[in-house]
Amino acid sequence: MTHVNAPRDGTVTQIDAARAGTVTRQMEAVARKEGRDPEFIREGVAAGRIAIPANIHHTSLSPEGVGGGLHTKVNVNLGISGDLANEAEEWKKVDVALELGAEAIMDLSNSGKTAAFRRALIEKSPAMIGTVPLYDAIGYLEKPLVGITAADFLNVVRAHAEDGVDFVTIHAGMNRRVIESFRETGRLTNIVSRGGSLIFAWMEATGNENPFYEFYDEVLAILHEHDCTISLGDAMRPGSTYDATDAGQIAELIEIGKLTRRAWDAGVQVMVEGPGHMALDEIAANMKLEKRLCHDAPFYVLGPLVTDIAPGYDHITAAIGGAVAAAAGADFLCYVTPAEHLRLPDAADVREGLVATKIAAHAADIAKGVPGARDRDNRMSDARRRVDWEGMFAEALDPVRARAYFESAPPSTDGTCTMCGEMCAMRTVNQIMNGLTIDLGKE
């Protein structure tokens, strides 16, 4: 990387380099993956339309680009809780995430001393790693929430950045103005963001402004030093379709738009987090609204979940919303598992949630014409035409599941499956095209 116009801390971030006209090795890697010219990537990073979360300490990282004109990326959430602190199970989830090609893993551990797991994850993972430092604050500092100071919060952010976290969720947009709007208008499900609820409780208990908003410049200085991307968390995301696109959500989004500009001015890359629960007909408008208010910054959405009544199947409700959101402009989908709203997911839930979200992301990429998005589908279709089972498994999002289904019911007619057997359309037409006589029912 060429050190041009280096800030006082000596670090040149991806956005610093891009604005100076330099194509970094991370930009080159993203260009290769995306089939794009490196200059396209550099221009996108310089403008803030593309982020490449790549902490200078994450040496095992295989860089990914998130933003306009690129493939939709998918994140997997994992991490221990106070009730289920089984680190071995979390490593199983990591293995599933990496096996199925998740581009990001967020460690949302929120109980006890979490640094050892986080550092080991960063050392192992080629996927970008995200965290919510606020979740770690109580265990890290060994203080009750009300006893934590603004300086304490900043120290936890610094610890995560120093460990090599590529992006951190910071709920800086929920300031006093946003809370006033929330109180005036009310909600059915109030504040459902875990980080948002903690900040709200801290603000109410202390009477102080949101520390991440009040000391935002200090947060940015920490992130710049390690080239850690800020993911501006949506503390006011709707937790029900009833609350979607309400005054609290939009008031916070307006503040996030301002914070986006300030981060870019400080040489820090930005992603913006979004809803949440949202009726199908509101999703596209929300994507356009975020792009407008947040100056085309990459948009990272949780779902959205398009109905509230499907516990046990929320990976499906989220995949429906995610496909619509990404087709309308969202750049990054956070997966949702069948365990959402019910319990901490296990490794099997992670597989279900990740594949569902990968389907949504890929469907959206086809819809919005991302270069190369259809190539894999075309290869799959060609393999199906040729009844090439190994070729089909090779192109499947989850080849393990596909092979297991096929092999669980062996067909009596070679080269077919038990759905159609000797009446397989592909087999019949292939035989005709090859000049063979077809006599169904006789072998």
Can you spell out the DSSP letters for 313-336?
Answer: -HHHHHHHHHHHHHHTT--EEE--
294 carries a ligand binding annotation: no
CA angle 24, 30, 33 (to 5 degrees): 145
In which element (H, E) is residue 37 found?
none
* Tokens standing for residue 300: 């990272």
334 carries a ligand binding annotation: no
139 carries a ligand binding annotation: no
119 carries a ligand binding annotation: no
Backbone angles phi, psi at 220, to 5 degrees: -65, -40
* Bridge-based pairing state of the strands 50-51 and 66-67: antiparallel
401 carries a ligand binding annotation: no
* Tokens standing for residue 304: 């959205």
Backbone angles phi, psi at 358, to 5 degrees: -60, -40
171 carries a ligand binding annotation: yes
424 carries a ligand binding annotation: yes
81 carries a ligand binding annotation: no
Strands of 83-196 (E only): list them: 104-107, 128-131, 167-170
Q: Match 């690129």 to its residue by tokens.
A: 70
* Tokens standing for residue 437: 């006589």
235 carries a ligand binding annotation: yes
Q: Single out the residue of 16, 8, 76 nearest to residue 52, CA to CA.
A: 16
Helix (H, G, I), strand (E, B) or coil at 301: strand
195 carries a ligand binding annotation: yes
Q: Are 232 and 196 in contact (CB under 8 A)?
A: no
Q: Single out the residue of 10, 98, 1 nearest to residue 52, CA to CA.
A: 1
Q: Are 107 and 78 in contact (CB under 8 A)?
A: yes
341 carries a ligand binding annotation: yes
Q: Single out the residue of 226, 299, 220 nearest to residue 263, CA to CA.
A: 220
At 101, the amino acid letter reads G
236 carries a ligand binding annotation: yes
420 carries a ligand binding annotation: yes
Enumerate the known binding-site residues for [4Fe-4S] cluster: 417, 420, 424
Enumerate the known binding-site residues for Zn(2+): 277, 341
Enumerate the known binding-site residues for substrate: 77, 106, 135, 171, 193-195, 234-237, 273, 300
Enumerate the known binding-site residues: 77, 106, 135, 171, 193-195, 234-237, 273, 277, 300, 341, 417, 420, 424
